[in-house]
Amino acid sequence: MEAQRAAWDFQLSVAYVATMVELAHPHFRHDGRRLRLDTLLRLRWLAVTGQSAAVAGVHFGLGFSLPFGKCFAIIAASALVNLALRIRYPASYRLSDNAATLLLGFDILQLAALLYLTGGLQNPFAMLFLAPVLISATALPPERTLALGCLAVGSASLLALAHKPLPWAGQAIELPFLYVSGIWAAILLGVAFTGVYAWRVAEEARQLAQALAATELVLAREQHLSQIDGLAAAAAHELGTPLATIALVAKELDHALPKEGPLADDIRLLREQVERCRSILAKLTSLDQEQPGFLETMTVGHLLEDLVEPHRALGTEISVKAGGDGPEPVCRRSPGLLHGLANILDNAIDFAGRRVEVEASWTADQVRIEIRDDGPGFAPEVLLRAGEPYVTTRGRGQRDADESAGGLGLGLFIAKTLIERSGAQLTLTNAAPPSSGAVVRIVWPRASFERGARQVGREPRGELPPPRSDAAENASYIGA
């Protein structure tokens, strides 16, 4: 009977807490979507298990006197909240910032109540105040972490002044207040240090993930643009048949209608334009067959010209040099490489005083491209953090303008990421005195630079149908 009543009371308690969670439902909206509820529940179950083991071990194992019933009531409250949340929400539910802050604040207060009954800051488990603040620092905005840190430090301050005696064998002991003050200071410094450190590490990880996502979007856009060449050839191939039909119909109309008159002039014009279209399509379909890989490969010189040509009319003098040992290297036309190099050239032109130099050189083992300008050069913080996202080379006024236009300092990061995907090594330096300006050096192993170009021409290609004669056109037309 006692067991049934205890089970019934337990079910009522779970139902009550679930009702309270339901009433607090507006705080559990999907607006934050950062921290999974299941993550907090698992951590809390670990805390409940550890607290239960510690209280039971001290009371039964060591035989120390402590308010056992009250301690387990506080631990049970945490378990009931866990059960209620598990019943109310699915495991995949993601908490809003408000909900996550409330749950972590509850954990701090629950730990403070348990420590109040077991010695306050004299209890060595008082350092567990750091855990909720650490979780908040990795998943929540800084202001929420600051609020939870203040709650933890405030609770520790109250426990330093008011608490039950520390469980001990025989007569209770009371540690010196100076020692307790040292523990309070350790908690304060621990909350501040771990909070800032964890937030910084998590923020850098988030920035890197967002920057990589932006890089993928840029690369996808460039790949989409690069497909225009293939689409042109495919369109030329597909348009050949309907164009042949139009030519056939125009020829039949020319034979059927009188040779003089307005209609005859229109028919002749129509046949001339059809022949012009056929010659254009034939040029598109035969261009890459006459020169295998023409649309898919490019030499270093052509690569530099593609980069420089759009900027020649902007007023900045751009010098292009290319030379080296042996035959000129050939690379595959890569949207990512073109976008990365173009981004670096854009920056050089933006900061240059009057002149930008683009130089390519090669040996039997390496291919090198250098982009130099005569501007102020890279700022020291950019050189120290080269390759990190959200590092801008703009001045403060320029940076504000860039951010208002959508720039976030991702250009150099995206360029470096895309270029290094091609097997290159990118380094940023400033010109040695007395010269001034920035120098960007990109170096490839020649085998890596030419790797993609070797595959062009080996890939199987669909054969285009041979052009049909007038007799074939007439036969197909009659058969249709």
410/387 same-domain check: yes
- pLDDT score for 237: 63
DSSP 276-332: HHHHHHHHHHHHHHHSTTTTTEEEHHHHHHHHHGGGGGGS-EEEEEEEESSSPPEEE
pLDDT above 90 (res 1): no
Query: How confident is the model over 298-334, as pLDDT tens digits?
Result: 888 888 888 888 777 777 788 888 888 888 888 887 7
Mean pLDDT, the chain, as a whole number?
Answer: 75
Q: Would you place residue 272 in the very low, low, confident or very high pLDDT band (cuts 50, 70, 90)?
A: confident
Q: Based on the domain organization, do 364 and 243 belong to the same domain? A: no
Q: Which of 218, 237, 271 represents a domain boundary (last residue)? A: 218
Who contacts 458 (Cβ-Cβ below 8 Å, separation ≥6)?
none
Which one, of 78, 84, 83, lies nearest residue 22 by Cα?
A: 84
* 312 and 387, same domain (yes or no): yes
Contact 318, 312 (CB under 8 A): yes
Cβ atoms within 10 Å of 314's Cβ, excluding its own: 8
Based on the domain organization, do 197 and 266 belong to the same domain?
no
Do 269 and 356 belong together in one domain? no
Same domain, residue pair 170 and 290: no
In terms of domains, do 250 and 345 share one?
no
**What percent of the chain has pLDDT above 70?**
72
Q: What is the DSSP string of 181-250?
A: HHHHHHHHHHHHHHHHHHHHHHHHHHHHHHHHHHHHHHHHHHHHHHTHHHHHHHHHHHHHHHHHHHHHHH
- Given this model, what pLDDT does residue 400 score? 40
Closest CA to 372 of 413, 328, 296, 321: 321
Contact 126, 108 (CB under 8 A): no
Same domain, 163 and 236: no
Together in a domain, 47 and 168: yes
Alpha carbon distance 42, 22 (integer Å):
21
User: What angle separates helix 470-479 from helix 228-256, to the nearest 10 degrees?
Assistant: 80
CATH number, residue 308: 3.30.565.10
Distance, CA of 35 to CA of 88 (rounded, Å): 17
- Do residue 162 and residue 214 come from a single domain? yes
- Same structural domain for residues 126 and 8? yes
Question: Bigger pLDDT: 401 or 359?
Answer: 359
Distance (Å, whole) CA 467 – CA 278? 10
- Determine contact, residues 167/58, Cβ cutoff 8 Å: yes
Is 178 exposed, middle or buried (CB count within 10 Å of its CB: 0-12, 13-18, 19+)?
A: exposed
pLDDT for res 387? 62
Residues 445 and 467 in one domain: no
CA neighbours closer than 13 Å in the CB half-sphere of residue 442: 27
Name the token pair of 446: 């020649």
Lowest-confidence pick of 156-170, 192-206, 217-231, 360-374:
217-231
What single-letter amino acid sits at 387? G
Phi-psi region of 352 (alpha: psi -120 to 50; beta: other; left: phi over 0): beta
Indicate the residue among 218, 237, 264 that finishes a domain: 218
Q: Are strands 366-373 and 425-430 parallel, antiparallel or unpaired?
A: unpaired
- Does 279 score more than 90 pLDDT? no
Q: What average pLDDT does the segment 15-38 reach?
A: 51
Last residue of a domain, one of 187, 218, 249: 218
d(CA 219, CA 335): 7
Distance separating alpha carbons of residues 379 and 280, to the nearest angstrom = 51
| Alpha carbons 113 and 75: distance in angstroms, whole number | 10
> Which range of residues forms the domain containing residue 64?
2-218
- What's the total number of domains in the chain? 3
